[in-house]
A and B are shown apart, each in its own frame.
Chain A
Amino acid sequence: MRTAILGARVIDPSSNLDQVVDLFIDGGKLVAIGQTPVGFVAEKIINAQGLVAAPGLVDLSVALREPGYSRKGSIASETLAAAAGGVTSLCCPPFTKPVLDTPAVAELILDRAREAGHTKVFPIGALSKDLAGEQLAELVALRDAGCVAFGDGLDTFRSTRTLRRALEYAATFDLTVIFHSQDHDLAEGGLAHEGATASFLGLAGIPETAETVALARDLLLVEQSGVRAHFSQLTSARGAQQIAEAQARGLPVTADVALYQLILTDEALSDFSSLYHVQPPLRTRADRDGLRAAVKSGVISAIASHHQPHERDAKLAPFGATEPGISSVQLLLPLAMSLVEDGLLDLPTLLARLSSGPAQALRLPAGRLSVGTAADLLLFDPQASTLAGESWHSKGANCPFIGHCLPGAVRYTLVDGRISYQA
């Protein structure tokens, strides 16, 4: 299929391209930017005047809920929601049932994702068997089955000694480890950021030190083991500062933040709405500002949805009895565009944090527009707006942004030159 995309403002952060040019796609690859290739006869022409063409978004954490939790979501439903949010490549975390700690589970996910065909899927494998933090998962077999990185999520290793060995083993094979640094003990029983809001509501707190103490330990272990590391879901300004200091002393670590952490604060909890129950928790305005600054400076090079769809019942209980998480991947582009609208980031920087930044963090073959690479791209109208929830593909409606009018609207998402979503 030969496709021509005419008249779009093409922004490719990785090559500093930002101009109105035509794009030509053939055989699933981008074959030219600008001049029509000799002999190119388009079978499909997309008139993209007024639209922005950008690398398809790369989301480092989208829970697909399969296998094991089909009441919350399916690979087909959640990847379609992702495509509608402008995503062409996504990583899915290992919290499935059974856990993604065997090649069979990785293969099952990849097969179903291919069958659905909405986005490319790159699984993240468990670092330890059954996420129990005791025995290592078969990391190399998982890599060979397609896992791009390994992590145990917030279920971090209880034993620092075992964690250290896991990092050394991963380093042997140049595997990337993903940390969600939160000290178990300090966070134990907590439901919300330890601060005025949680105190007022009588919710047990998770102190900032739950993140920073664990981060300090993890960064030192990364330094010692030499493992490739990515720090996911930062929540605190001080945590971002720790990453900046580590990068400044030459440690090749990257970091991401959940998009909702750049928008919401713990004040949102004031009427006990379980829609705002997330783990790790929403923190203060000062933390949000610190995270925003770190995104702007590039210390945090990736913004991810950390999409966690839930069935209705999971959120229908008193706050502490509800399951944490927000379903938001379908709003990735328009929610992120609100950061541009609010003057916090310019458009190319935002797109970098949503494409080339995350792709480089996990060495994914994605996140840029250049001749010869896969034609994974996104066309959106920056002047239009999206009424969140007007159409909804995720099985989880647990999204506090539903009903909000957000800036920007996805028009087309293309994966390997094929239209995977069209508004």
Chain B
Amino acid sequence: MTPMDAKRPLQLNDQGQLRHFLSLDGLPRELLTEILDTADSFLEVGARSVKKVPLLRGKTVCNVFFENSTRTRTTFELAAQRLSADVITLNVSTSSTSKGETLFDTLRNLEAMAADIFVVRHADSGAAHFIAEHVCPNLAIINGGDGRHAHPTQGMLDMLTIRRHKGGFEKLSVAIVGDILHSRVARSNMLALKTLGCPDIRVIAPKTLLPVGIEQYGVTVYSDLAAGLKDVDVVIMLRLQRERMTGGLLPSEGEFYRLFGLTEQRLALAKPDALVMHPGPINRGVEIESAVADGPQSVILNQVTYGIAVRMAVLSMAMSGQNAQRQLNQEAEESN
């Protein structure tokens, strides 16, 4: 029997440019670097008194959030506005789907309103892939987080944070601590770090919070926080959801904090200039001590600022890749 035929990667156009941004899986290092370089250039825009560039003038960006979000949603809104796009944001969890409308129909309706870009957050892993493949292939689809699968703009803003503070990735040790199992941020970070050449990626968690087959990401697993933090350059803490205490994943917040919480004392095991990162929202006293979250090594708020620039980069790149593909298709049609 013949195997499935090899498909062009869903998120790239025929010229290898980004046309959707769904996951960091399969994206080459050059493309990730291009995103970071573009984001760097947009950081200057944010520092100007007039914070707008006309790259998406006349385009409509539609933020469709099937799951709650504050940071991701507002930074996507700001990013689109700074690119001069028209922006609408829908919190669908409270509107259409409660009336029984399917994801397919909701998005088709929005597409009919002449949207150009969808930013989608959804609780189902693979939702953004589904939309890009089956619902609106001709719009630029940006994944704002799908289930446990991927949160690629968070991954890239974390990479931008690391690169701006550490210069590069080739000599770094990076530790990711906490609930890896349920974390799309952790998955995107592991992929990004690997692609960008980080030689030492560590994950630190109890077995109940680690996915089976974690080795495939090329990471080293630690169950002891002290050993895992030793001499690292970057510590990425993950949010621990309260509901993890039920169902036997963890005995209590207190025990988790005792074993895996980041305190000043434990941070001292890392390199003296180690960065402390967190995708937010943080649980003070559950995964991180306030003194560390607000301390001199914390870049948690810088991450938020960089998030806008990364989202501007991704929105503009995907729109341009989608436009290029449209042109290619048109030319192909005309020559037929």
Contact = CB atoms under 8 A, between A and B. Distances in A.
B64 to A, nearest CB: 13
A194 B104 contact: no
B208 to A, nearest CB: 13
Contacts of A401: 1
Given A272-B129, A316-B104, A406-B1, A321 B212 contact: no
A272 B130 contact: yes
B37 interface: no
Interface in B98-136: 102-104, 122, 124-127, 129-130, 133-134
Interface in B21-45: 25
Contacts of A195: 212-213
B66 to A, nearest CB: 10
A405 B130 CA distance: 27
B267 to A, nearest CB: 29
Contacts of B25: 200
A196 interface: yes
A318 B124 contact: yes
A338 B104 CA distance: 36
Given A196-B213, A199-B214, A271-B129, A318 B10 contact: no
Contacts of A274: 130
A320 B104 contact: no
B103 A405 contact: no
B19 interface: no
Given A199-B213, A271-B129, A338-B1, A320 B147 contact: yes
A317 B130 contact: yes
B20 interface: no
Interface string A192-224: 001111111111110000000000000000000
Give the most central of A194, A199, A341, A406: most B CB within 10 Å.
A199
Interface size class of A (residues with CB under 8 A): 20 to 34
Contacts of A321: 103, 124
Contacts of A338: 1
A44 interface: no
B214 A202 contact: no
Contacts of B149: 201-203
B49 interface: no
A271 B11 CA distance: 12
A74 B25 CA distance: 41
Nearest to B148: A202
Contact of A271 (B10, B102, B150, B212): B10
A231 interface: no
Contacts of B187: 200, 202
Given A271-B129, A318-B124, A200 B216 contact: yes
B81 to A, nearest CB: 29
B248 to A, nearest CB: 11
A196 B130 CA distance: 21
A405 B104 CA distance: 32
Interface size class of B (residues with CB under 8 A): 20 to 34
B202 interface: no
A342 B3 CA distance: 13
Contacts of B239: none
A320 B124 contact: yes
Give the most central of B102, B103, B149: most A CB within 10 Å.
B149
A204 B148 CA distance: 9
B184 interface: yes
A317 B216 CA distance: 28
A114 interface: no
Contacts of A199: 211-214, 216
A404 interface: yes
B212 A318 contact: no
Nearest to B187: A202
A263 B4 CA distance: 13
Give the most central of B122, B124, B148: most A CB within 10 Å.
B124
B2 interface: yes
Contacts of B2: 404-405
B184 A202 contact: yes
A202 B130 contact: no
A202 B124 CA distance: 9
Give the most central of A201, A271, A338: most B CB within 10 Å.
A201
B158 interface: no
A318 B133 CA distance: 11
B189 to A, nearest CB: 13
A95 B127 CA distance: 28
Interface string B207-245: 000011110100000000000000000000000000000
A203 B184 CA distance: 11
Interface string B174-215: 000000000010010000000000000000000000011110
B255 to A, nearest CB: 24
A404 B126 contact: no
Contacts of B147: 202-203, 320
Interface in A246-292: 263, 268, 271-272, 274
Interface of A: 194-205, 263, 268, 271-272, 274, 313, 316-321, 338, 341-342, 401, 404-406
28 contacts: A194-B212, A195-B212, A195-B213, A198-B212, A199-B211, A199-B213, A200-B213, A201-B125, A202-B147, A202-B149, A203-B126, A203-B147, A203-B148, A205-B212, A268-B4, A272-B125, A274-B130, A316-B102, A317-B102, A317-B103, A318-B122, A318-B124, A318-B127, A318-B146, A319-B124, A320-B147, A338-B1, A404-B2
Given A199-B212, A200-B216, A271-B7, 5 more contacts: A199-B216, A202-B150, A317-B130, A318-B146, A320-B126
